[in-house]
Copies of this chain bind each other. A is one copy, B any other.
Amino acid sequence: MARAGLTPDRVTRAGAELADEVGFAHVTASAVARRVGVQVASLYSHVRGTDDLRTRIALLALEELADRGDAALAGRAGRDALVALGDVYRDYAREHPGRYDAARHRLDPATAATSAGPRHAALARAVLRAYDLTETDQTHAVRLLGSVFHGFTSLELAGGFDHSAPDAQESWVRVLDAVDTMLRSWTA
Q: Which residues of A contact B (CB under 8 A)?
A: 25, 104, 106, 109, 121, 136-137, 139-140, 143-144, 146-152, 154-155, 158-161, 163-166, 168, 170-171, 174-175, 178-179, 181-182, 185-186
Q: Among A144, A147, A164, A185, find the residue whose CB has the most chain B CB atoms closer than 10 A.
A: A147
- Neighbouring B residues of A166 by C-beta, 8 Å: 136, 139-140
Number of copies: 2
The answer to whether A171 touches B140 (Cβ under 8 A) is yes
Choose one: B121, B144, B155; the contact of A143 (CB below 8 Å).
B155
- Neighbouring B residues of A147 by C-beta, 8 Å: 147-148, 151-152, 155, 175
The complex places the Cα of A131 from the Cα of B121 at a distance, in Å, of 32
Known pairs A25-B25, A139-B164, A144-B152. 14 more at Cβ < 8 A?
A106-B158, A136-B166, A139-B171, A140-B170, A143-B161, A144-B148, A147-B147, A150-B151, A150-B154, A151-B154, A178-B182, A178-B186, A181-B185, A182-B185
The answer to whether B155 touches A150 (Cβ under 8 A) is yes
- Neighbouring B residues of A155 by C-beta, 8 Å: 143, 146-147, 150
